[in-house]
Amino acid sequence: MRLKKLISLLLVLCMALACASCGSSAPTATVAPTTQVTETPAPEASTADASAAEDDVEDEDEDETDTEESEDIALAYVNGNAVMLSEVSYYADYLYEQYGYDDDTTEDEIRALYETALNYAMSNVIMRQKADELGYTALSDDELAELKTTCSTEWNEMVLYYAEAYFGYTDGGDATTNNEAVVNTLSFLESYGYTEEVLLQDYVDNAWYEKLVAYICQGVSVTDEDAYSYFLTCVEEDKTYYEDNAMLYEFYTQYYGYTSWYVPSGYRGVKQILLSVDEDLLNTYLDLAEQLEDQEGGEATATDLVTADAVEAARLAVIASVQPTIDDIKARLAAGESFDSLIALYNTDPGMTAEPEASQGYSVHQDSIMYDEPFVNAAFSVSNIGDVSEPYVGSYGIYIVQYFRDVPEGAVEYTDEVRTEMLESVQEDRENEAVNAQVESWLAEADIIYTAAAEDYLPYADATVTDVN
For the chain, how many structural domains are there in total?
2
Question: What CATH number does the domain containing 449 carry?
Answer: 1.10.4030
In a domain, 225, yes or no: no
* Beta strand segments in 10-59, E: none
Is residue 262 classed as helix, strand or coil in its secondary structure?
strand
- Which whole number is the average pLDDT over 185-190? 94
Q: Which of 86-100, 236-250, 390-404 has the lowest mean pLDDT?
A: 86-100
Higher pLDDT, 181 or 8: 181
In a domain, 232, yes or no: no
End-to-end alpha carbon distance in the chain: 26
The pLDDT of residue 43 is: 52
Are residues 163 and 187 located together in one domain of the fold?
A: yes
Are residues 128 and 19 located together in one domain of the fold?
A: yes
- Which whole number is the average pLDDT over 111-117? 86
Are residues 394 and 445 located together in one domain of the fold?
A: no
The pLDDT of residue 457 is: 64
Q: Tell whether the model's pLDDT for residue 5 goes beyond 60.
A: no
Are residues 45 and 145 located together in one domain of the fold?
A: yes
* Beta strand segments in 239-318, E: 262-263, 268-275
Higher pLDDT, 130 or 14: 130
In a domain, 197, yes or no: yes
Contacts 24+ apart (CB under 8 A), 285-291: 285/311, 285/314, 285/315, 285/317, 285/318, 285/393, 286/395, 288/314, 289/314, 289/315
Are residues 394 and 440 located together in one domain of the fold?
A: no
Q: Which of 190-194, 374-378, 397-401, 404-408 has the lowest mean pLDDT?
A: 190-194
Q: Tell whether the model's pLDDT for residue 243 goes beyond 90.
A: yes
- Which whole number is the average pLDDT over 118-132? 94
- Other Cβ atoms within 10 Å of 104 Cβ, number: 6
Are residues 353 and 441 located together in one domain of the fold?
A: no
Q: Residue 205 is part of which domain span?
A: 3-55+72-220+419-454
Of 146, 164, 277, 230, the closest CA to residue 426 belongs to: 230
Are residues 169 and 142 located together in one domain of the fold?
A: yes
For the chain, how many helices (H) and strands (E)?
16, 9
Answer whether 240's CB lies under 8 Å from 262's CB.
no
In a domain, 343, yes or no: yes
Are residues 214 and 99 located together in one domain of the fold?
A: yes
Q: Tell whether the model's pLDDT for residue 25 goes beyond 60.
A: no
Q: Tell whether the model's pLDDT for residue 204 goes beyond 50.
A: yes
Report pTM.
0.69
pLDDT tier for residue 298 given thresholds of 50, 70 and 90: confident
What is the DSSP annotation of 156-217?
A: HHHHHHHHHHHS---TT--HHHHHHHHHHHHHHHHHTT--HHHHHHHHHHHHHHHHHHHHHT
The percentage of the chain sitting over the pLDDT mark of 90, rounded to a whole number, equals: 68
In a domain, 67, yes or no: no
- Which whole number is the average pLDDT over 40-68? 48
**Neighbouring-strand partners of residue 84:** 74
pLDDT tier for residue 460 given thresholds of 50, 70 and 90: very low
Higher pLDDT, 68 or 53: 53
Are residues 208 and 321 located together in one domain of the fold?
A: no
In a domain, 116, yes or no: yes
Q: Tell whether the model's pLDDT for residue 420 goes beyond 60.
A: yes
Are residues 321 and 448 located together in one domain of the fold?
A: no
Higher pLDDT, 106 or 159: 159
The percentage of the chain sitting over the pLDDT mark of 70, rounded to a whole number, equals: 80
Burial class for 129, CB neighbours closer than 10 Å (0-12, 13-18, 19+): middle
pLDDT tier for residue 123 given thresholds of 50, 70 and 90: very high
Question: What CATH number does the domain containing 319 carry?
Answer: 3.10.50.40
Are residues 47 and 165 located together in one domain of the fold?
A: yes
In a domain, 334, yes or no: yes
The pLDDT of residue 36 is: 40
Are residues 118 and 20 located together in one domain of the fold?
A: yes
In a domain, 368, yes or no: yes
